[in-house]
Structure 1
Amino acid sequence: MEEIYLFHDRTYLSKYFKSFDKVNLIEDGRANYQGRKIVRNYLKRTLRFVLGYSYQYQFLGESSEISSVYLMKPEYAPCCIKGKVKPLTEFVNRLSNDTVRTIISFFRVEAMESNAILVLTQGLDIAGLCSKKDKLNIYYVLVQKLLDYYSPKIVVKIHPSEDIKEYTKLFAGFSRVTIISGHVPFEAISLKIDGKHDLKVYSLRTSSFSLGPNSSVNVLNLIDSVDMWTRFSSDEILETAINELVRLYDQNL
């Protein structure tokens, strides 16, 4: 039996992969929990209604060609896919040592220092949430604060949609800041971390997760409010992120 795992089932390439005998979907982020509204496409809405799907929203994993959907939070899965949802940990725990080594080798993941802090950036400007100038200012101030409070070493892992040159220029004078290409997924990085490391990972608001079952990696989102993220004011986001950083620091004293 041919079995395959996908992160998305609505791309052009996924149409080919869905021809496999068993197709599984792995969480890709918030899109797995929120349907995409179908707007003004009345033919599509009608066809979906006839086929028994929601004619208002489209959900990842809803297709009958998808056998299983692995989610971090199965309890929050849309009703239409609940019957095929499984905990993501079930998939992670099945990763063999050979598979882990293959992933690490493929992405050329380097070992993280035990006392380093990892910052995950996002293409805020590309998503239309703010300007590039405001985005870079947010991460500049955030990294400055982390250097002051926590660690002698900061590793900035940029988002795949971003240009690494933006950050190498931004932190050119920082000897304690290292930039990692967006082509290396955080999930692959987490596989390189063993149980002896207590790596702190900070993000404004991400759905990235650790695949390393033996590590104590915990992704800390500094912005919890969905409403705040949706209306996105750069000043408010930065102030809230710094306040949360200070709170976490004081909490660990």
Structure 2
Amino acid sequence: TQLGSAVSTLTTMNHRTLLRLIIVVVLTDAWCTALNCYVCTDNPDDGSVDYDADCGQYDYRRNTHTSDNDGCGIDIYDNGFTFRAPSGGWADGECYHGTDHTFCNCASSLCNTDSFCAQCGYPRPTPPGTTEYTPIATTVQPETTSTEATTTVLPPHTTTSFSTNTPAKRKCYQCINCGHVEASTPVIEDAFLSCMTTMVLESAEVIRSGSYTEYPDGECVAHTETLSCYCSKDLCNDINIEF
């Protein structure tokens, strides 16, 4: 009887210990997979998340939310509104082009800021002198006799150094779903280092804009859903991308 009581007590203790271990593992796993993302919209008619008039700012840092999603996203709508929230099922740096918006994804806490989805070809210019989120890795080395800083485009979540000289303003065509350039095609002028033409591979939609990142004239870069080609003269992004 004493032996049976001791076994019963030990079994109960083992069950309690096992239960504690399971709780610790579950809580630890939940803590490890939790991701903190910025959450907001500047569209007063969108009631899905908290409204914040500053949501469209490039360096937005205000409302946050922690969830078990594996990514954070930014939706930039063609009508100018911005939406930030947790996302799931997308690769780091992946893009999606909807009928009325462009979405870009990132995969670390609070990563859905300091970006206007430039790697997706969205024509909302990134402020000069800032670091735009991009998965491309390209380095342009300066001449040995030059005192200019190196311009470097690095993998996601790293800093980018820009030239210390202020570049001259450059004109680029800026439009969405514009397969051909016409006299009425909008033109934007700013301190762009390149003009770019981006094709959405699935829909063949063409997007034209300016870029504050310097690329070799004529270089084309393929992303998950887009192909972007760059040039370095005024209004040079007037041609179609050929496959």
Assess same fold via TM > 0.5: no
TM-score bracket, normalised by the shorter chain, equals under 0.3
Larger fraction in strand: 2
Larger fraction in helix: 1
TM (norm. structure 2) is 0.23
